[in-house]
């Protein structure tokens, strides 16, 4: 008989790493999404070009390659990262590139009429963005942000390739040591599902909070 408690403990430790990656990666992704997304609608060409380059580059190459670059190639440029830092950076930059297009789309979706009202009320561009456009654009972004966060969660498994001991990595360790595939992979299946369930529930809660009073109707 195998004593499973120690093995399960190992997987739970891995779950903690996965959770850390997801939370920190998402935080970086949100920052990048807003920075690049708002830069995409800037009136300065250079700012727009920079943002477009970032977005196209990170969407156009795989997360796998990006992770290897961050972890194995950056040290040649004198930047050495821990596996966790490398994982967070690669995941955050990658998902942030997708998020940037979501931010841009949502900002564009707040129509001309709202912008013109802002001009007629003599608000500056910054004030319009901060008080009128973004508060209305945010609820539009949330459903897609939710998808992105879940994608990021699932993407975290790729970090086992740079020997970060996340949930998937630990499941493989357990499988190698016990010869049993069913139990460790069922456990992480359930854990992944629980985590994404928590993400989607909390996003839905946020969305409800933000749209309170709007009644789905736009003036």
Partner 1 sequence: MPDPIIRIDNIIKRYGPLTVLDGLSMQVMPGEKLALIGPSGSGKTTILRILMTLETISGGHIEVDGAQLYHMPGNGGLVAADERYLQRMRAKIGMVFQHFNLFPHKCVLDNVTLAPMLTKGMARPVAEKRAMELLDMVGMADKAKSMPAQLSGGQKQRVAIARALALSPKIMLFDEVTSALDPELVEEVLNVMRKLASETDMTMLLVTHEMGFAHDFADRILFFDRGRIVEEGKPDDIFRHPKQERTQVFLRKIIAAGHRV
Q: Which residues bind partner 1 (CB under 8 A)?
A: 113-114, 116-117, 119-125, 127, 131-132, 135-136, 213-219
CA distance 58 to 100: 11
**Which residue's CB is nearer to partner 1, number 60 or number 213?**
213
Instruction: Name the minimum Å distance from CB 51 to partner 1.
Output: 21
Within a 10 A sphere around the Cβ of 20, how many other Cβ atoms? 16
**Which residue's CB is nearer to partner 1, number 38 or number 110?**
110
Instruction: Name the minimum Å distance from CB 111 to partner 1.
Output: 9
Helix H or strand E encompassing 131: none
Q: Is the distance from CB of 21 to CB of 188 less than 8 angstroms?
A: no
Instruction: Name the minimum Å distance from CB 101 to partner 1.
Output: 23
- Give the torsion sign (CA, 33, 38, 41, 43): negative
Instruction: Name the minimum Å distance from CB 91 to partner 1.
Output: 32
CA distance 214 to 193: 32
**Which residue's CB is nearer to partner 1, number 103 or number 199?**
103
Close Cβ partners of 37 (under 8 Å, ≥ 6 residues apart): 51, 99, 100, 101, 102, 103, 104, 107
**Which residue's CB is nearer to partner 1, number 75 or number 135?**
135
């Amino acid at each position: 008989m195998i004593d499973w408690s120690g093995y399960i403990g190992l997987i739970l430790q891995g779950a903690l790493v996965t959770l850390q990656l997801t939370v920190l990666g998402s935080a970086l992704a949100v920052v990048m999404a807003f920075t690049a997304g708002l830069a995409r609608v800037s009136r300065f060409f250079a700012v727009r070009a920079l943002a477009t380059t970032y977005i196209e580059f990170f969407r156009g190459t795989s997360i796998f390659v990006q992770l290897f670059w961050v972890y194995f190639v950056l040290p040649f440029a004198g930047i050495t990262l821990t596996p966790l830092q490398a994982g967070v950076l690669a995941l955050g930059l990658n998902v942030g590139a997708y998020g940037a297009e979501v931010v841009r789309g949502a900002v564009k979706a707040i129509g001309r009429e709202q912008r013109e009202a802002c001009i007629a009320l003599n608000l500056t561009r910054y004030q319009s963005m901060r008080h009128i456009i973004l508060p209305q654009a945010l609820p539009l972004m949330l459903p897609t942000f939710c998808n992105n966060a879940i994608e990021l969660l699932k993407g975290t498994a790729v970090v086992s390739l740079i020997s970060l001991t996340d949930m998937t990595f630990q499941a493989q360790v357990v499988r190698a040591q016990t010869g049993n595939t069913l139990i460790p992979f069922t456990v992480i299946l359930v854990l992944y599902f629980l985590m994404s369930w928590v993400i989607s529930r909390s996003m839905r809660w946020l969305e409800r909070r933000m749209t309170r009073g709007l009644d789905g109707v736009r003036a």
